[in-house]
Amino acid sequence: MQAVLSDPAMMQAVQNMDMQALAKNPKIRALMNNPKMQRIQDSLR
């Protein structure tokens, strides 16, 4: 999460809601594949 938040390009993509850029980013992919993040996602469903 820290790596994503400290990356200016990623923050710009978040602000612009650029889902393609976010989906392609290895930092976002690693975050979304993190077991803890997956548990959070599952609890929201």
- pLDDT per residue as tens digits for the range 1-45: 788 889 899 999 999 999 999 999 998 999 889 999 999 999 998
**CA-based end-to-end distance of the chain:** 21
Which SS3 state, helix, strand or coil, does residue 18 take?
A: coil
d(CA 7, CA 16): 14
pLDDT at 44: 92
pLDDT at 21: 93
